[in-house]
Amino acid sequence: MTLKIAMILQDIKVEYKLIQSDNLRDLSEIIEKIYQADDILGLKAIFTSEVAEIINYLHTEDSQYTPVVKQIMAEVQKNYKEDMNLKTLSYKYHMNASYLGQIFQKEAGCSFAQYLSNTKNGIAKDLILNTNMKINDIAKEVGYPDTSYFYRKFKQCYGVSPASLRNMKKY
């Protein structure tokens, strides 16, 4: 049972990307501590300490966002090319889509669609300024299959078209 609890704690650390924390032990260290424990009180102390560290880390690290909003932001950064929306994310995170949209808006300061669009446009801007890729290839690279829609969203975000931005780079 103690090994099962240790593995669950490890899964929590992986899910919330807490592995890089210095204060949290990895699975092998916890297992070693379990085998060194003298009695049930020693085991309780090990797990209480580990759970307290996880909670503390979650509260101090990026505390303005709830874990689900942090996960969604990370997923957008990783999978911005894919077709994603609040409905599919709400299903994935077992939440009501309207409620998820409300908490995302409250914590991120913009709608999910706007956050996704800003992410795509930021990456597109970097590609426009730092590569010689064609604009329609950049549109596809950041997840806009329709180049004219990409132009509209980009201009809405930055006030200039992608081609104008590239021309400004030359000066």
pLDDT digits (tens, 9 = 90+) for 115-165: 999 999 999 999 998 899 999 999 999 999 999 999 999 999 888 999 988
Alpha-carbon span 39 to 107, nearest angstrom: 44
Looking at the chain, which residues constitute the CATH 1.10.10.60 domain(s)?
Answer: 65-171
By residue count, the chain amounts to 171
Alpha-carbon span 51 to 55, nearest angstrom: 6
Contacts of the segment 54-60: beta carbons below 8 A, 24+ positions apart: 54/9, 54/12, 54/13, 54/16, 54/18, 54/24, 56/23, 57/18, 57/21, 57/23, 57/24, 58/16, 58/18
Alpha-carbon span 120 to 27, nearest angstrom: 36
Alpha-carbon span 94 to 140, nearest angstrom: 30
**Among the listed residues 121, 57, 95, the one whose alpha carbon sits nearest the alpha carbon of residue 104:** 95
- The CATH classification number of 65-171 equals 1.10.10.60
Give the burial class of 117: count Cβ atoms within 10 A of its Cβ; 0-12 exposed, 13-18 middle, 19 or more buried: buried
Q: What is the phi/psi pair of residue 87, to 5°?
A: -65, -45
The verdict on pTM exceeding 0.75 is no
Q: What is the phi/psi pair of residue 80, to 5°?
A: -60, -25
pLDDT tens for the chain, 171 residues: list them. Answer: 888 898 888 888 877 767 656 667 788 888 888 899 889 998 998 888 888 888 777 766 555 778 888 889 989 999 999 989 999 999 998 999 999 999 999 988 899 999 999 999 999 999 998 899 999 999 999 999 999 999 999 999 888 999 988 888 766
